[in-house]
Structure 1
């Protein structure tokens, strides 16, 4: 059985740890609120009613693809495209290709940024591997104008951010919903986490400072994992209704 991401792939290691995935989620939640195409998810009503669940479902789709066989991953990607196609039909318009690319580009960026924050710097070959896995996702979805490699992707990613991100009333509403569903304390943790992984341009649009209190806490968290206390940290930081979903994100990473 051919795997979508090889068994020893760095992508499986990144997506096999719930704490790394949580930072991917945190960063994407901030940037997503700025995207000019976010109104598409307001069309169904699912995003404003429960934005955390909507973002979790996106993360879980990505994780399933990473840990599946090629056939199962392709079937999941096809299903995802069909779901969006139904939304397009109901609205009588097409989701722009650049909007799909933006979501794909977020998964690439935050996979790398989150892993480097919590673990170590990735080599250029490992970054290329991350890009290649998600490139194949985008290619299967039929996305156009995808850069062929990581080096070519970097300036395209930069250009996409400048063209496709803006502060809007959707931005304010989404962050209001984040706070409502997380509570004040956990919402502040989300903001501090975003500061650590979002690009400078996103940080500027979200009016975030350059310093995060979590920059002090991250080394402590790394230590807590060594003494198996990380579950305690997560139980404090996560709403109870999402704990089961978070625990299910953990898989055994590749051996060092």
Structure 2
């Protein structure tokens, strides 16, 4: 059976490493909170009540799609689309198409940014490959007006950042929930990681400085992987009760 993502794809390498995936969602968690459609994430109440649980649920969906045969990946995308359809029906309104695109754009951007932070710079062809995988996800979900290429996406991504992001009461409440569920130290690590990952416009909206303490720690972390000490650093990012879920991030379906 043909895989949804080719065996030797850079996307499998990116999403097959738990540390990269954790950074993807560390960065995306800031942008999620700023999005003008964040009220949809509050409608069911599941995100503010259990932000870490929702993170791992979202990761599981994404990883399953990346590492599954075409038919199973498409079925998973269809199921995800149906879940959102049920939420729309319950609320009596439709999630804006641009909001779906924003989420897709976040996954593209932070997949590239996180891998480059922890591993190496990607080639243009590899970045195109990342874009094309999520482009196919978007097409399967029935999204309209998706950029046809990575270059076009870069232009539209810049427009989306300006037009679709704005601090709101949900923004600040969501960050309060992050702090509540992570604790002060891990919440600080979340903010420091966001400084290294988020675009300048997001950094400006949050009034984040350019310097991050993690810029000192990450080189040490990279070295620790050679000594198999990286689990210690991963446990610094998330509470111990999520140890099993953290380890499962390294599992390829």
With normalisation by structure 1, the TM-score equals 0.97
- Cross-structure match for 1:125: 125
Structure 1 unaligned runs (5+)?
Answer: none
- Cross-structure match for 2:199: 199
- Cross-structure match for 2:169: 169
Computed over aligned residues only, the root mean square deviation of the Cα atoms, in angstroms, reads 0.9
| 8 A Cα contact 1:25 1:56, kept in partner | no
Aligned equivalents of 1:117, 1:97: Cα separation in 2: 30
Structure 1, residues 209-230: CA drift from partner, whole Å, max 9, x if none? 1110000111000000011111
Aligned equivalents of 1:28, 1:109: Cα separation in 2: 9
Structure 1, residues 67-114: CA drift from partner, whole Å, max 9, x if none? 011100000000000000000000100000000000000000000000
Q: Displacement, 1:7?
A: 0.3
Q: Displacement, 1:207?
A: 1.5
Q: Displacement, 1:251?
A: 3.7
Aligned equivalents of 1:197, 1:248: Cα separation in 2: 23
- Cross-structure match for 1:67: 67
| 8 A Cα contact 1:4 1:70, kept in partner | yes
Aligned equivalents of 1:221, 1:135: Cα separation in 2: 32
Q: Displacement, 1:236?
A: 3.1
Match of 1:209, SS state, is coil
Q: Displacement, 1:232?
A: 1.7
Match of 2:208, SS state, is coil
Larger displacement relative to structure 2 (52-61 or 166-175):
52-61
Structure 1, residues 29-80: CA drift from partner, whole Å, max 9, x if none? 1110000001011111111111222222222211110001110000000000
Aligned equivalents of 1:244, 1:199: Cα separation in 2: 31
Matches within 5 A, 1:154-193: 154-193=154-193
Matches within 5 A, 1:1-256: 1-251=1-251
Larger displacement relative to structure 2 (1-10 or 236-245):
236-245
With normalisation by structure 2, the TM-score equals 0.98
| 8 A Cα contact 2:190 2:237, kept in partner | no
Aligned equivalents of 1:194, 1:79: Cα separation in 2: 30
